[in-house]
Structure 1
Amino acid sequence: MDWGSAQKRCYDKNKARFDVQQTRGKKRVERHAYVMRTWTGYEYNEYQMLSLRAMITELSLKSGGEYDVHFLVHVKNNSIPIWASPRIYQETLQNNVPREFWNISTLWSEQQMETYYPEPFPDNFANMAGSSIHGVYRSAHFPLQWFSQQHPHYDFVWNWEMDMRNTGHYWEFHSRVSDWAQNQPRKGLWERSARFWIPEHHGSYANFTDLVERETRDRDIAANDLAQNGPVPLWGPYQDFPHSGMLAPPNDTIPPTSYEADNYTWGVGEHADLIVFNPLFDPARTNWVFSWDVTGYNRSLPIPPRRAAIITVARLSKRLLGIMHEETWRMKHSMFPEMWPAALSMHHGLKAVYAPHPVYFDRDWEAGHADEVFNHPEEVWESPFGWGEHNLLGSSFYYNSGFSGALWRRWLGQRENGEGGRREEEGGSGRMCLRGTLLHPVKSENGPED
């Protein structure tokens, strides 16, 4: 099987749908690159191969070419000159990627990024990782920015990790998330996106929206430190803080009215520039270890207000990736990967959305208590995105969750912690049934034999 050829044939058959010059009044369909972040030496097990094939079939072929799946392969050995020799490039690719994915794979290396985004990158506030600015740990966004520059025909790029799993239909999930984000009004969006929506506690999302508006007005504004956190509520681009140079925000990000005058209309129907799957939190309100990994901003001035979302899986618009690229090479600005897209969305007034999705826990949380712990920590060190992150270890979606892999293996029908498995389930209540759910991380898929 050659998935690259299959995706191209599908696109060619349907390319009129994506033409900017649409005829007969039809609306143009946006194109998406779905980028899997893999690396040399990665082992593709049987379960993942099945998942990847389903992903390509459901996202690309079933959508008529709306999505293209790509593998962005990190060549970890910097001494391999993949940019200098087509033969070495092809050998490296073929030795590290299954044959069926060769034609959808692109190689990159940190050495290559050093050339694309050359030094110097001065004035880092705190390099807590102790690693290079060009290393993937601190700048996973560099190759994604480069990828977008090489593929300007994609309107959106999804940054997806190899240890993500989805129990539902890929196109259905991503299409619904995109539509939901597009229909979100700008008013209160940053404030809603900073919180977990807990339906059992908050009720409908409309009720949640009203609650957040009241909390913002009655509590958050008075408690806010403008210099440290930026304005509350956020409304349009925010660059009114001390700095020694920034790119100007796009003209269409200036609000058409005041915050108070808007009736939840601005932004409705506008594509989101950034969609993330954990809340867009303010690092200054936490003791998140990487909150000060900010580079290129004058250290004689206060650190810029910023936002972040844990786990780098996200949908980024071509516009956002272009601004990230320009800020990187032209202004020598960068931040830790989980901050960079969100912070620039804040500074440039782009539409950034946290999309709620089903998250399971390994224990039964009382809903009101969960709201207090996850949405209203009393001290910075209690934030779930700092020292309070232990509260998310038992969830199905966090950077170091222990429950996500267990839940995935149980869903596959395997025994886990002495429970489940085919015999027990089929002899009792039946196989586990889950709604479409994102799981992260899944580091192992082979459980004990039943």
Structure 2
Amino acid sequence: MWIQESRLRWLSPRRRDKRWFLRLAICSSSIVFGTLIVLYLAELGPWKVDPPVPNAFAWQEFAALDGYYNGVRNLVPYLDHTPQNGYNRSLPLKAELTGLAKMPPLDPVKFDPFPDHTMRQHGNEYHSVTQCFLDEDETVAVPDVYVYPGLPQYHPEPLFGSYDELGMREDLCFDRFGRYGPYGYSYDDNLREHGLLNFPKDKTFGKLVGKDTEHEGSEKVFEQAGYTNWTGVDWKNAQQRCFEKNKAMFADEQPAGMQRVQRHAFVLRTWADYTYDQHQILAMRAMVSELALKSGGEYDVHLLVHIKNDTIPIWADEDVYQKTLQEAVPREFWNISTLWSVQQMKMYYPGPFSENFANMVDSSAHRVYRSAHFPLQWFSQQHPEYDFFWNWEMDVRYTGHYYELTSKVSEWTKKQPRKGLWERNRRFWIPEHDGTYQNFTTNVFQDTEVDDKKSNDYQQSGPLPIWGPVPYRGDDGLVPPSNGTTPPSSYEDDRYEWGVGEDADLIVFNPIFDPTQTNWVFRNDVTGYDLTLPIPPRRAAIITLSRMSKRLIDTMHEEVWHHKHTMFPEMWPPTVCLHHGLKAVYAPHPVYFDRDWDMDFLNQALNHPNHPEESPFGWGEHNLLGSTFYYNSVFSGRMWRRWLGFIEGKKEGKGGQGGRMREEAGAGRMCLRGMLLHPVKFEKELEN
């Protein structure tokens, strides 16, 4: 979810009679899930609780997977790799460590996810890319990332999604030195004192990270990458110089046979009192380097900074703006930051906003918790030069290369046909259960025919199958559908052709579900529509991490500005796509679990709940606590901190797991495939 604002509160008294069941749902779910998460934390860890706590969920009986924690001393070539998963047909393999060498048996190599050495020269189809540098004198090159060409033996397989389907590499892994070393990780104080690293010695940063962790063989990264001078880098100027060098490939008019390259704004959603530790700054350097500079200006990275103090007139006085900016953001990122406030959004999107169907947090439509899309819509109107806008949350981490992730996801979604797309979007693709994605597509098509005919004891929001814009009563005031959203043929006559080669207007990283088939507490947070008519059909995707086209975000802006329509942030972009016939796609990126789930059980629990209350997008959300990507995942943060070499669990007083001594005594530091991890709420070692 986007920036958290306040705890849930009772609805206003005038709605007490109409909304009592919603209040009950909120209070009950808060108590139940608070209790369940405590139980889960007690059970998830390798340490034990005394006295033992009974398992609260059936999935807690599945065996834990510990192959993630095998490290670089246990590397094998991909063809020799055996995943630990038994998929509950039998017990998973024991991740036994035998015959370990002192040093990693494989050497790190440079990872280059770009199409070729000129990055975009496919024959004469695209322009070649001119190299970009960090400094104006072009003496400091952008560093490369290094990977190990293999996997630790027994590294588990993901349960959702697929590297191969998305066109990503699955035969290599990233350790903390190869991934972050080129950006300043494990640089020592000597380098800092010689001006090669702008992590100041102060209470914010303390000692430099990485030097005190297990590091056998890490010198081979720096022998190849060297050390980069990160002092005084101006990211805005570096990005602008890179764009100017390569602007021909972004021009609207292209020579015959050449294709224009589209531009992306990669927007980090942060706020004034956010704590930027060294790990976060390393991640941000990686984003700018890999997305903007290595691509030749295909991306620009921005920080969109929420100033929570609405009394500061950041829109009225340049001196006030600059002072506020410098207090809110590290110096390194001043020039790529844009400030906004709720008060500013109230002026940009003036009310009145009419009554809503259900205001679950009892706050105004402008508060960030209910309308986090407002500032991104405003930002997009200030930057018409971009074709796409990525909404990136500050509690997301990625162990892999950013350009590989974003480019491959973009390419894959562009290839997807529209037929059956909304129906595929609503499910998790489980390769071990469903087979190939083509087989999954066929199965969904067959199930859709069944779902369309059977009766349900709750109302479905919208027709099945969905084909083009979905109208609803009272939609006369809607923005007219965009060109290209009307199906060129009937659903029956289409041969999975419409939509192929069409850029996705919305890319999300969790299924796009129908809220009416869940008890998700925000399913009725719909504002500005006629309350005398049925609530409009809608869709939602948990976690606002997404890519939005200019076409989509302009339509969202018009809906809010002209028609005063809005919804809860995780529901608004998918619903605008539904109403206007825009192309929305759930990208099946690899998602890992901490346990060896039974595949039939997993499919039933997540894709075919028996009742709305059992949906994973409601009270069944406990099923995703042990995943690497969900709004309330516990496993994601633990995985990240273990990968960084920290001890997890010391606070529980049982000695914890991981850390330097255990890594040195075992298989060394962790080495993971590219994993999208959410949420990661802190990056430090727990203390007793």
Q: Which TM-score tier does this pair reach, normalised by the shorter chain?
A: over 0.9
Matches within 5 A, 1:120-139: 120-139=352-371
Q: Deviations over 1:357-390 (max 9, x none)?
A: 1112222211111000000001011000011111
Q: CA deviation at 1:430?
A: 3.1
Q: Deviations over 1:305-354 (max 9, x none)?
A: 10000011100000000000000010110000000000010000000000
CA contact (8 A) 1:35 1:157 kept: yes
Aligned to 1:20: 252
Corresponding residue SS for 2:454: helix
CA contact (8 A) 1:244 1:298 kept: no
Find 1:433's aligned residue among 657, 671, 681.
671
CA contact (8 A) 2:473 2:533 kept: no
Corresponding residue SS for 1:137: helix
Aligned to 1:380: 612
Find 1:10's aligned residue among 234, 242, 258.
242
Distance in 2, Cα, partners of 1:302 & 1:225: 17
Matches within 5 A, 1:260-299: 260-299=492-531
Describe the shift of the 1:275–1:269 C-alpha distance in structure 2 as closer, same or farther (beyond 3 A): same
CA contact (8 A) 1:244 1:297 kept: no
Distance in 2, Cα, partners of 1:88 & 1:216: 56
Distance in 2, Cα, partners of 1:241 & 1:214: 29
Q: Does 1:212 align with 2:449?
A: no
Q: CA deviation at 1:431?
A: 2.3
Matches within 5 A, 1:294-443: 294-417=526-649, 418-443=656-681
> What amino acid does structure 2 have at the position aligned with 1:296?
G
CA contact (8 A) 1:410 1:432 kept: yes
List, as ranges, runs of 4+ consecutive aligned residues in structure 1 with deviation greater than 6 Å.
224-227
Distance in 2, Cα, partners of 1:115 & 1:212: 45
Matches within 5 A, 1:139-158: 139-158=371-390
CA contact (8 A) 1:227 1:305 kept: no
Radius of gyration: which is bigger?
2
CA RMSD of aligned residues (A): 1.5
State percent identity of aligned pairs: 66
CA contact (8 A) 1:228 1:304 kept: no
> What amino acid does structure 2 have at the position aligned with 1:400?
N
Aligned to 1:114: 346
Q: CA deviation at 1:392?
A: 1.2
Find 1:89's aligned residue among 300, 305, 321.
321
Distance in 1, Cα, partners of 2:266 & 2:487: 31
Corresponding residue SS for 1:344: helix
Q: CA deviation at 1:415?
A: 2.0
Q: CA deviation at 1:242?
A: 4.2
Distance in 1, Cα, partners of 2:339 & 2:609: 42
Q: Does 1:197 align with 2:429?
A: yes
Q: How many residues align?
A: 450
Distance in 2, Cα, partners of 1:287 & 1:161: 25
Corresponding residue SS for 1:35: strand
Corresponding residue SS for 1:252: coil
> What amino acid does structure 2 have at the position aligned with 1:141?
H
Distance in 1, Cα, partners of 2:304 & 2:584: 24
Q: Does 1:181 align with 2:419?
A: no
Moved more, 356-365 or 123-132: 356-365
CA contact (8 A) 1:39 1:73 kept: yes
> What amino acid does structure 2 have at the position aligned with 1:267?
G
Moved more, 254-263 or 440-449: 440-449
Aligned to 2:403: 171
Find 1:230's aligned residue among 452, 462, 465.
462
Instruction: Identify which of structures 1 and 2 has the higher relative contact order when contacts are C-alpha pairs closer than 8 Å and 6+ apart.
Output: 2
Q: CA deviation at 1:252?
A: 1.0
CA contact (8 A) 1:243 1:301 kept: no
Distance in 2, Cα, partners of 1:223 & 1:199: 29
Distance in 2, Cα, partners of 1:427 & 1:207: 45
Corresponding residue SS for 2:577: helix
Q: CA deviation at 1:59?
A: 0.6
Under a length normalisation based on structure 1, what TM-score does the superposition of the two structures give?
0.97
